[in-house]
């Protein structure tokens, strides 16, 4: 995951800033729990108890609102994932913490949200970008572990390519279709497989 630099979400200055921020957080909660493909702007306004004009104050269209929500989610998820990573010291523990934190961030999201993201290119692109960034982060952690002697001397580029491929399959809903696993569950299983495969002996992850 990576914190994107997109300028999205409510403006944080001026009159009504607190209300716009509260409304946007409610929008994030609604869409991540129920999806968005089936909801119109009228539906969103009714569910959020506001006017369509108020929603247009957040973004110029439903499509822009959806993309803003997805960017907002990954931006804040990245902060929390990196905090979980920073709290660990050993490389195996850091790698485990990273992948499990990713799983924990994805766990509350509804299957319908993931399906809708996959079917809406601007949102799918955001998810894909963050998936690529996460795969790169995992590659860095493997390199650190090999250099420190905590991981076996694996072919790092190959390991990273395999992991990236699995992450992309998760993001593209292929793992869900093949196994029935939710994205968060798939990341948790990936963490276990990865740590067992890299460990020199007993897995260090807690």
pLDDT per position as a tens digit, 55-91: 998 999 999 999 999 999 999 999 999 999 999 888 8
For residue 203, is it within any domain? no
* Helical spans, DSSP H, in 87-182: 91-106, 111-118, 121-147, 156-171, 174-179
pLDDT in tens, 114-173: 999 999 999 999 999 998 898 899 889 989 988 888 888 888 888 888 888 898 899 888
Domain identity same for 108 and 146: yes
CA distances, 66 to each of 8, 48, 56, 113 (Å)? 10, 15, 12, 11
Percent of the chain with pLDDT over 90: 49
Concatenated DSSP letters of 51-111: -HHHHHTT-SSHHHHHHHHHHHHHHHHHHHHHHHHHT--SHHHHHHHHHHHHHHHHTTS-H
* pTM greater than 0.85: no
pLDDT level of residue 6 (50, 70, 90 thresholds): low
Tokens read off for 6: 């997109």
Report the CATH number that the domain containing residue 101 is assigned in CATH: 1.10.357.10
pLDDT level of residue 2 (50, 70, 90 thresholds): low
Q: What is the mean pLDDT of the chain?
A: 86
- Can you tell me which residue has the tokens 């497989």? 193
Domain identity same for 94 and 164: yes
Domain identity same for 37 and 69: no
Tokens read off for 196: 């067992």
Domain identity same for 121 and 41: no
Number of domains in the chain: 2
Report the CATH number that the domain containing residue 58 is assigned in CATH: 1.10.10.60
For residue 46, is it within any domain? yes
Domain identity same for 172 and 81: yes
The parent domain of residue 87 ranges over 64-198
For residue 4, is it within any domain? no
Domain identity same for 76 and 23: no
CA distances, 172 to each of 31, 69, 92, 192 (Å)? 19, 19, 27, 21
Domain identity same for 57 and 69: no
| 66 neighbors 122 (Cβ within 8 angstroms) | yes
CA distances, 146 to each of 168, 186, 198 (Å)? 24, 24, 9
For residue 69, is it within any domain? yes
Structure confidence at residue 201 (pLDDT): 59
Rg (CA), the chain: 19
Bridge partners of 151?
199
pLDDT in tens, 14-50: 556 788 889 999 999 999 999 999 999 999 999 999 9
């Amino acid at each position: 995951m990576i914190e994107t630099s997109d300028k999205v979400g409510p403006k944080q200055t001026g009159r009504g800033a607190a209300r716009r921020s509260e409304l946007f957080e409610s929008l994030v909660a609604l869409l991540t729990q129920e999806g968005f493909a089936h909801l119109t702007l009228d539906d969103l306004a009714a569910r959020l108890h506001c006017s369509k004009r108020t929603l247009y104050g957040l973004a110029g269209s439903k499509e822009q609102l959806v993309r803003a929500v997805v960017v907002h989610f990954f931006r804040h998820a990245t902060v929390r994932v990196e905090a979980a990573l920073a709290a660990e010291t050993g490389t195996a523990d850091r790698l485990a913490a990273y992948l499990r934190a990713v799983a924990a961030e994805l766990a509350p999201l509804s299957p319908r949200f993931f399906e809708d993201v996959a079917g809406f290119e601007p949102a799918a692109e955001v998810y894909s970008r963050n998936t690529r960034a996460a795969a790169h982060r995992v590659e860095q952690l493997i390199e650190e572990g090999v250099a420190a002697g905590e991981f076996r001397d694996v072919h790092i580029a190959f390991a990273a390519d395999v992991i990236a491929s699995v992450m992309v399959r998760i993001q593209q809903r292929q793992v869900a279709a093949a196994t029935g696993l939710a994205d968060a569950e798939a990341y948790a299983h990936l963490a276990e497989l990865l740590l067992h495969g890299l460990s020199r002996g007993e897995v260090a992850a807690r």
